[in-house]
Chains A and B, each alone.
Chain A
Amino acid sequence: MLYFAGIDIGSLCTKSLILNEDDAIIGTSIKRSGAAYRGAGEDALNAALKDANLKSEDLNYIISTGYGRSRIPIADEQITEITCHARGSSFIFPEARAVIDIGGQDSKVIEINSKGRVLKFVMNDKCAAGTGRFLEVMAGSLDIDLEQMSELAKQSKKEVQISSMCTVFAESEVISLFAGGTEKAEIASGIYRAIARRVTGLASHIVSGKKVTMTGGVAKSKGMVWALSKKLKTELLVADDPQIIGALGAALIAKTKFNNL
């Protein structure tokens, strides 16, 4: 049996996935990236190998992706997360023609064809506003975790506008609303809708009229998926574990590359 690995080193988390030659996912792992990408990549790969009951010498081809993709000497090749998320998304949802990937530090909107190839992409790479890091800071301001924030947002009965999308300014705005007596649920809902507004600005011309899938760690947030679906007026397709889609795409490309050797 042939085995292929994808390692996705993101700014917040490192994901690894093992695929066999029949395209079955046989091992996965997700770890915090920390400050040492190389170590995080190797740790995540070892954990995924353990999950798959394999050893590193069993792997036939490894592709690294994500922000720290060039820091993994064990990888045979490195491919960008844009290409990998496109391929992974298409594998899970063949009908998808657009991908919204909100990661820890940036967000991307990708138009894909039926084979999961990238046709066009846009990327917010200027700051971490509206990304996973932003959500973590906002949840911290409300003194709750991300799961609680999702649940709370659904209970909101009133719309509160969070106007500032700079993480620093938005935190001040949230604290000010909190101090003014606004309910946590309303603030949580306002935060999700603010991010949704921002992503819609980036995405609308690409996702319009298409089946859209959402990937990346932020897609695990039900509150975010809810707010974004509402804003885009479409039901977003979300995989069981959207955070590993980049690693899945990397493993799929690893298989193709190996077969073309």
Chain B
Amino acid sequence: MKQRALNQCMKVSGDPYGYLKEWKGNNNKKIISCFAMNIPEEIIHAAGLLPVIAWRSNESVSIGHSHVASFNCGLTRSFIDDVLKEKLNFLDGVVINRMCLQAQGIPFILEQNTKWANIIYMSLPALYGSDCIRDFFKSELDRLIIAMEKCSGNKITTGKIVNSIEIYNHNRKLLSDIYEIRRKNIGIISAREMLSIVHSSMIMPKEENNKLLLEVIEELNLKVAEGNHKSGIPVVIYGSLCQTPHPELLDLIENTGMVVVDDDIFIGSRYFVNSLDISDDPIESMANRYLSHIPPCPTKGDYKSNWSTYISDIMNKNKAKAVITLMIRYCPPHMCAYPDDQINFEKKGIPEIMLEVEHEIISLEQVRTRLQSFVETIGGI
């Protein structure tokens, strides 16, 4: 089966360091890391810079231990570890959203340990509802625009932002289309492959990624015609905020008799779920997207949304039989939200199992036992 484009996605996702170093060498443009969720990338893009979403490193934390507590999440620990090991020297700066207590500590470590001229700390509001929150959000965007103009030397006009929104919306649409193909053809693509597709979008320039995704769609349509897709108990995975779950964990899920049909993870549908309105006031459009209650997020003080209801709606849409919670170890927002979600799943009779996602993989065989037992329980053995 032809899968050049899918292989390219997996290559980029597997080695973002190599891809970005090469891209920078060929394009001589600045690269700005976005740490991690909800950074308005369109503004960075409109400045002629390449925004890339911060990723969890591909190796165990070593010297990072001296700067970040071992009870921090994998993303914060490994990002700082990468910085200290000088693996991220190709970056020209970082935009950090104050989304949790662990992220709040990152800028101070970066200021002391990098030569980056652009370390932008954003206080995107953790609440919804009032006009003053909306005004505050928009003022933060204005501050980002000024910072990115200074970083790039380019003026960010309304027209440039609208153009960036169109490119980003197209990317969201293409990712959404790929999810729709999976929904209609369960098992046509593995969870690992889907992860690499979304991850490639977070790393590559959107213009190039859009071309690649169109090719991925072509390949998938050919595969649909070929038939012979993986089967299993259809499940939805959710959680894994801010960072990649281990692909090995996704493989394990699909090798124990389940097949992932949809997700609500950050490097998944959470990244592209809402498009922006195209209007004369793009800042207002960004506010509309950010202040929407979809997808529900435990990093926000959102008392109107119910995450478990949102997940059960996704399950119904996909005729899924069970849900798998991917809990990032030491992610306090998700850890606080989980007990209520777990109770709600139980009340609704939804089989659910929680897997902890750690940066350093240990004991995969025990996880296999838990997953296989879960399948046996659902299957009535």
Are A83 and B370 in contact (CB-based, < 8 A)?
Answer: no
Number of interface residues of B (CB under 8 A): 13
Chain A min CB distance to B381 (Å): 6
Please tell me which one of the listed residues A79, A106, A119, A253 contacts residue B366 in the complex, with CB atoms under 8 A apart. A106
Q: Does A117 contact B (CB under 8 A)?
A: yes
Contact (Cβ within 8 A) A123 B366: yes
8 A Cβ contacts from B347-381 to A: 362-363, 365-367, 369-370, 372-373, 376-377, 380-381
State whether A67 and B365 are in contact (beta carbons under 8 Å apart), knowing that A79-B381, A117-B380, A118-B376 are contacts in the complex: yes
When the two chains form their complex, are residues A125 and B376 in contact, meaning their CB atoms are under 8 A apart? no
Residues of B within 8 A of A253 (CB): 381
CB proximity to B under 8 Å, residues A57-99: 67, 79-83
Bound-complex Cα distance A82 to B370 (A): 8
Neighbouring A residues of B370 by C-beta, 8 Å? 123, 125
On chain B, the residues within 8 Å of A233 by CB distance are: none
Are B373 and A80 touching (Cβ within 8 A)? yes
Out of A82, A117, A120, A126, name the residue touching B369 (CB < 8 Å). Answer: A82
A121 interface hit (Cβ, 8 Å): yes
Least CB distance, A6 to chain B, in whole angstroms: 14
Q: What chain B residues lie within 8 Å of A126 (beta carbons)?
A: 362-363
Residues of A within 8 A of B377 (CB): 83, 117-121
Contact with B along A101-134 (1 / 0, CB 8 A): 0000010000000000111110101100000000
CA distance A80 to B369 in the complex (A): 6
Known: A79-B381, A125-B363. A67 touches B369 (CB 8 A): yes
Which residues in B have their C-beta under 8 angstroms from that of A119?
377
Residues of A near B365 (CB, < 8 A) are 67
Which residues of B sit under 8 angstroms from A118, Cβ to Cβ? 373, 376-377
Interface pair B376/A83, CB less than 8 Å apart: yes
Minimum CB–CB distance from A41 to chain B (whole Å) comes to 16
CB proximity of A154 to chain B, nearest CB, Å:
33
Q: Which residues of B contact A79 (CB under 8 A)?
A: 376, 381
Q: A125-B369, A125-B370 are in contact. Are A80 and B376 (CB under 8 A)?
A: yes
Question: Can you name 17 A-B pairs with beta carbons within 8 Å?
Answer: A67-B369, A79-B381, A80-B372, A80-B373, A80-B376, A81-B369, A82-B369, A82-B373, A83-B373, A83-B376, A83-B377, A106-B366, A119-B377, A120-B377, A121-B373, A125-B369, A126-B362
Query: B residues within 8 Å of A by Cβ?
Result: 362-363, 365-367, 369-370, 372-373, 376-377, 380-381
* Top-3 shortest CB links A-B: A125-B366, A82-B373, A80-B373
